[in-house]
Structure 1
Amino acid sequence: MSTVSTLAAACAALIILKKRRKRKRQMWVKNVFLRREEQSVYKVLMAELREEDEAMYKNFVRVTPEGFDLLLGKISQAIKKQDTVMRKSISCGERLALTLRFLATGDTYSSLSYLFRIPVCTISKIIPEVCSAILECLKDYFKVPTTEDEWLKIAGEFSSQWDFPNCIGALDGKHIHIQAPAKTGSLYFNYKGTFSIVLLALVDANYKFLYTNIGAPGHHADGGIFATSNLNQAIEQKKLNIPNARPLPGRHMKIPYVIVADDAFALQANLMKPFKHQTLNGMKRVYNYRLSRARRIVENAFGMAAARFRILLRSIELPPEKVKLIVGTICVLHNFLLSTSGTVYAPPGTCDRDVNGIFEPGSWRNGTNIPFLDLQPTQGRNYSTNARVIRNEFKEYFVAEGEVPWQYKCI
């Protein structure tokens, strides 16, 4: 190498070194985040609300202080992080509060960043981690019955509370709005012209989720999702120990235990749906009313969850897999809160009431003018003869041995 080239290289290296020295050193963490310990909403606002106003505390994170502590105790080991010599970890309580506030409002990560003084990149890791911990640690509050006694208990509650015997659950599905996923074409494009994934759920007589199927792309707009679900396969293969067919009270024909659903699903021997409105007579109207009365349970479960966790009423701007995780977490939290603090989570008047034919809408309907998008009704399905016979047996029962005097004024 020539002397000139060597000198030029040395000059270039010297210039680069001077620029590096002059370059302003970047902060590892912004000062606004460093003051989290003293000024974050968890340390200040939530502490004040805990002491001064429990109702506002509950409105902020959707659980009471006692409920928050109970939930935190169940998941803290799963979400706890180690402190290091470089910095102190974000506490378990902050992580849970951040996640609950996200589920309660659907606020953007940027908005939550200002509120909790946590960087957006960290929030994007915390929320999925906490949701996964909730799903794992609360799994005992959410499971499909697997014994005959469990199914009989559910059937007994449907019979005593909703006057529909031989019923083991109410089934429905809703579209959860999402942003258009990248490179998926029309896969998530639903019949209403928006993008969504489908939440399919089976609910017991007390508004608790027994089973969910979450994540089917929005273009699956009918009950075919249930037909291919692992729940339907388990029922058909007799893996769930559902009791054997037995007569309705006071009758002789043995019929199977059934699920009640709406027009989005195909009539099956173990799934009852309404008669078409074009062919209704008096007996069919009674049957449709009685089925609707029992099926409304699942609609109320969806509405109750959405009224508490209002992220469900917004278009969720996350990839489908993360939306699936969020929706599943809400379903588990719904069951957990109903089991541990039912009158607080769902005080009297929250759900629809239908007593002796007098219908009173639940308070969850207030402020939810843009509810979930329903599944699209099925068209042109061929029903088996056995399914038709079973539905007719219910129809005849409801105007004979199973008659209630107020049903006629409701049709």
Structure 2
Amino acid sequence: MVRASQRKHMINTLGKSIRQDIIRQAIDTGDAGDELSSDEDSDDEQDQEDEAEGLLAIFEDKVRALMAIEANRYLGPRARVVKGPEDNAYYLDVESFFNLCERLASNPIFHNNSTCPQRPVAEQMMVTLNRLGCHGNGVSVGMLATKYRIAEGTVELYTDRCLMAILGLKSDLLCWPDSNAHREVSEGFGEVGFDGCVGLIDGTLVVLSTCPGKDGADYYNRKGSYGITTLLACEQQKNIRYAYTGWPGCSHDHRLTNNSGLSRRSLDFFGAGEYLLADSVFTPTTTVVPAFKRARNRGLSDEEHDFNRHLSGVRVALRTA
């Protein structure tokens, strides 16, 4: 069943009330004519006129309110939404590419100590990023092998090496901030009205190119694809500070949160009064403050709408991280 908006509900209510007032006024006018035709004078004629003027003023207010609502598409003020970055903003630029290759060059996985050395790290990383950045037919091992003129097994080998080397950087790049860093982050969120907030949390889906061979149905998600559910937490500067992944695509964000270290070992991550901001799919806890969720057969109050609108503007950082 289609849910009517608050604006539509107000238009229908005012329109119905105005029609009832018109019918009532027509009936009262007819009754007044009958009384005049009988030449009967009433002592409270002045009171009736005052009452009629009051009803007329109320009727005019209803008409003005209806015209004002119909003249505007939205009831409340519309905040300007920041335009999202273009697709090329997510591309790895040349400088970052070579910085990554230089950082991974010392990893033992790229050195086999044989008379037949491996190809340069940059070439292996180029094949890997090409494979990770494609979907559908573009991720085919055969097409990549033809494109780079290498064997299909070599494509798999390059990908495995680069992924293992990148994962080796996890402990250096993906770390939870200390108390001093938390204080700085909290001050930043305090400027926008969220004192004690130390980050943002949300779930995302890592899309898989094919259905997994084992328990494949569990990886089918609500967006009609196969994927892995991942829980991410970041700060205002879009630096990801926590990642919890590996769950099949059918898993709910709330389930991941309950099984993550953020919930099981909350004292290791949060101090007194510290919390993360989330959307309405999360359940409120001492360390997670989500948006208000619309209850069944009941709308949100104006204060709850204002809070959700303000929260969504702050959470844009996580969507683009």
The answer, yes or no, to whether TM exceeds 0.5 is yes
- What per-residue deviation string (whole Å, max 9, x for no partner) do you get for residues 304-354 of structure 1? xxxxxxxxxxxxxxxxxxxxxxxxxxxxxxxxxxxxxxxxxxxxxxxxxxx
Q: CA deviation at 1:226?
A: 0.5
Q: 1:114 to 1:124 in 2, by over 3 A?
A: same
Question: Once the 2 structures are TM-superposed, how far is the Cα of residue 83 of structure 1 from its aligned partner?
Answer: 7.0
Distance in structure 2 (CA, Å) of the matches to 1:274 and 1:200:
17
What is the deviation of 1:234? 1.8
Match in the other structure for 2:111: 81
Structure 2 residue aligned with 1:130: 162
Please give the residue correspondences for 1:125-274 in structure 2 after superposition, counting only pairs within 5 Å. 125-137=157-169, 139-145=171-177, 147-160=178-191, 162-178=192-208, 179-184=210-215, 186-235=217-266, 238-240=267-269, 242-244=270-272, 256-274=273-291
The answer (yes or no) to whether the contact 1:171–1:200 under 8 Å persists in 2 is yes
Matches of 1:229 and 1:200, distance apart in 2:
9
TM-score by length of 1: 0.50
For residue 194 of structure 1, report the CA deviation from its aligned partner.
3.6
Whether the aligned pair in 2 keeps the contact of 1:152 and 1:243 (CA below 8 Å) is no
Deviation of the 1:117 alpha carbon: 1.8
How far off its partner does 1:171 sit? 1.0
Normalised TM-score (structure 2): 0.63
- State the distance in 2 between where 1:104 and 1:183 align: 24
Taking structure 1 as reference, are residues 183 and 243 closer, same or farther at Cα in structure 2, changes over 3 Å only?
closer
Equivalenced residues, count: 225
Deviation track 1:189-217 (CA, whole Å, cap 9, x = no partner) reads 33455432101111111111111111211
Between the aligned partners of 1:182 and 1:266, the Cα distance in structure 2 is 33
Contact 2:101 2:121 in 1 (8 A): yes
Q: Quote how far apart the aligned CAs of 1:96 are.
A: 1.6
Helix, strand or coil at the partner of 1:77: coil
Letter in 2 for 1:114: T
Deviations 1:30-78 (A, max 9, x none): xxxxxxxxxxxxxxxxxxxxxxxxxxxxx7x943333222212110121
1:43-54 equivalence runs, <5 A: none
Preserved contact between residue 172 and residue 261 of structure 1 (Cα < 8 Å)? yes
Contact 2:238 2:318 in 1 (8 A): yes
Equivalent in the alignment of 2:153? 121
Asked which structure has the greater CA Rg, the reply is 2
The one-letter code matched in structure 2 to 1:81 is H
Write the distance in 2 (CA, Å) between the matches of 1:232 and 1:188.
Answer: 24
Alpha-carbon distance in structure 2 between the residues aligned to 1:82 and 1:185: 36
CA distance in structure 2 between the partners assigned to 1:169 and 1:136 by the alignment? 25
Q: In structure 2, which of residues 95, 101, 121 is the aligned counterpart of residue 66 of structure 1? A: 95
Aligned to 1:276: 293
> Equivalent residue for 1:333?
none
Q: Helix, strand or coil for the counterpart of 2:257?
A: helix
CA displacement at 1:167 relative to structure 2: 0.9
Unmatched tracts of structure 1, length 5 or more: 1-58, 245-255, 302-411
Partner-residue secondary structure (3-state), 2:204: strand
Pairwise CA RMSD: 2.3
Aligned counterparts of 2:257 and 2:133: Cα–Cα separation in 1: 29
Q: Which amino acid aligns with 2:99?
A: L
Aligned ranges for residues 107-118 of structure 1 at < 5 Å?
A: 107-118=139-150
The equivalent residue for 2:131 is 102
Q: Contact conserved, 1:74 with 1:137, CA < 8 A, in 2?
A: no
Partner Cα separation in structure 2 for residue 284 and residue 201 of structure 1: 25
- CA apart distance, 1:84: 4.7
Return closer, same or farther for 1:276/1:67 CA change in 2, 3 Å cut-off: closer
Amino acid at match of 1:126: Y
- Structure 1 stretch displaced more, 201-210 or 67-76: 67-76
Contact 1:83 1:89 (C-alpha < 8 Å) held by counterparts: no
Q: Is the 8 A contact 1:191 1:221 kept in 2?
A: no
Is this contact kept in 2: 1:173–1:201, CA < 8 A?
yes
CA change 1:270–1:138 in 2 (3 A) is closer
Q: Which amino acid aligns with 2:282?
A: F
2-side partners of 1:183 and 1:276: how far apart? 35
Can you list the C-alpha shifts for 1:353-383, whole angstroms capped at 9, x where unaligned? xxxxxxxxxxxxxxxxxxxxxxxxxxxxxxx
CA 1:98–1:262 in structure 2 vs 1: closer, same or farther (change >3 Å)?
same
DSSP 3-state at the match of 2:157: helix
What is the rounded CA distance, in whole Å, between the counterparts of 1:184 and 1:139 in structure 2?
A: 30
Report 1 or 2 for greater relative contact order, CA contacts < 8 Å, sequence distance ≥ 6: 1
Q: Does structure 2 retain, via aligned residues, the 8 Å contact 1:263–1:274?
A: yes
